[in-house]
Amino acid sequence: MEKTSRFELEKWAGTSDARAEMAREVRAGLSRAPRSIPPKYFYDEVGSRLFDVICDLPEYYLTRAERALLERHAEGIVERARPRTIVEIGSGMARKTGLLLRALCARVPSPTYVPFDIAPEPIAASARALLAAHPTLRVRGVVGDFARDCSRLGGGAHVSNGPRLFAFLGSTLGNLDEREAPALLRSLAGVMSGHDRFLLGVDLVKDPRVLHAAYNDAQGVTAAFNKNVLRVLARQLDGELDEQGFEHLAFYDEERQRIEMHLVSTRAQVLALQAADVRVTLSEGERVLTEISRKFTRDSIEWTLSLGGMRPLEWIAADDGAFALCLARTARGDGG
């Protein structure tokens, strides 16, 4: 555990365990049809930096839309939830979390922030900035995989002496399919008390042209971000991959209301990862799915929350319908 007086960083998986898990997941994804790579492996140091650039692109409206909502409503959300601790799932660079933490620090003498992410670099970088801005704040970072580790937030140093606000921002829920999203919510509901609250940021269904532009930016940053996963696999799993042999493809599937992002093989080639015991032959034009980004309506979010053992309390949508925040609680208990 990395530790200073106000910052702790705990890793819930050793390097060897994480590498073995990565090998299993990548092998499973590339061995079935259609082939896929888990999107969490975008986020090494380079991938995190590229995504940070994406968030400032003119085409990528999501970050601006969510930030605008938080600028208007963070104080009210914190006042209603009354947390002593904010736990952020998939925190990344915590670009918008400072708005919630500013409101928290204004009403709590010794607040705590728990950023939970698969990559240690963005946790450490965001902690430095947040601690400089908020002298009374403590940061207890966790490096782990929220798809399997959320249940651990119910114990140890992550139990607060008061209500917690769990935040899942950036419409990251959209990266999970119709089965995975409720499963994650159930794992969170399982560690929440009746007094805890859950804040969800969701991207909403909109003009497909706007969605297409957001994932196919003119500068090609999203394409570079997509291809970076090949470098991650090559480095971590002893791979022989030719980045030039793939093209970025992203499109909106109106029927399933989701963006799909793929790497497309530009020629027949072998994709080999020695540490994962993977050697697959890709044909010209064959796609490898790297990410989905589902878009929601209020009805679909409330249904997903109910499947995940959550009860919506408040819906806060942008005036233009681009994005929404939803405050919820566990459906278990009588927390009020």
DSSP string, 86-107: EEEET-TT-TTHHHHHHHHHHH
Q: Same structural domain for residues 94 and 148? A: yes
317 lies in the same domain as 306: yes
Q: How far is CA 321 from CA 71, 181, 314, 315, 318, in A?
A: 17, 22, 16, 12, 5
| 47 lies in the same domain as 156 | no
Query: Which residues have a Cβ under 8 Å from the Cβ of 149 and sit 6 or more positions away?
Result: 12, 13, 116, 142
On whether both 125 and 191 belong to a single domain, the answer is: yes
**Dihedral sign from CA coordinates of 88, 111, 152, 307:** negative
Indicate whether 234 belongs to any domain.
Answer: yes
Same domain for 245 and 306: no
The reply to whether 267 falls in a domain is yes
**For tokens 């969605």, what's the residue?**
211
Residue 154 has pLDDT above 80, yes or no: no
335 falls within a domain: no
Check which CATH number belongs to the domain holding 182 and give it: 3.40.50.150
Residues 91 and 214 in one domain: no
Is the pLDDT assigned to residue 333 strictly greater than 70? no
| Whether the predicted pLDDT of 18 surpasses 50 | yes
Question: Looking at this protein, which amino acid is placed at residue 309?
Answer: G
The amino acid at residue 334 is D
Range of the domain at 265: 15-54+208-294
Neighbours of 235 (CB within 10 A): 11
Split at pLDDT 50, 70, 90, the class of 149 is: confident
Whether residue 244 has pLDDT greater than 70: yes
User: Is 37 among the domain residues?
Assistant: yes
Q: Write down the pLDDT at residue 334.
A: 47
- Measured between alpha carbons, how far is 257 from 45 in angstroms, rounded to an integer? 30
Q: What is the pLDDT of residues 177-194, one digit of tens each?
A: 999 999 999 999 999 999
**CA dist 162 to 82, 83, 106, 234, 285, Å?**
9, 7, 16, 44, 54
CA distance 259 to 322: 15
Give the SS3 label for residue 256.
coil
63 part of a folded domain: yes
In this structure, the answer to whether residues 189 and 300 fall within a common structural domain is yes
In a domain, 10, yes or no: no
Residues 157 and 265 in one domain: no
Q: Are residues 102 and 119 in the same domain?
A: yes
Does residue 4 lie within any of the structural domains? Answer: no
How far is it, in rounded angstroms, from Cα 169 to Cα 93?
12
Q: Is residue 3 part of a domain?
A: no
Same domain, 86 and 122: yes
Query: Are 153 and 283 in the same domain?
Result: no
* Rounded mean pLDDT, 48-60: 95
Amino acid identity of 276?
A
Clarify whether residues 111 and 191 are in a common domain.
Answer: yes
236-254 burial by CB neighbour count: b if 16+ within 10 A, else e?
bbebebeeebbebbbebee
Number of domains the chain is built from: 2
Which amino acid is residue 135, in one-letter code? P
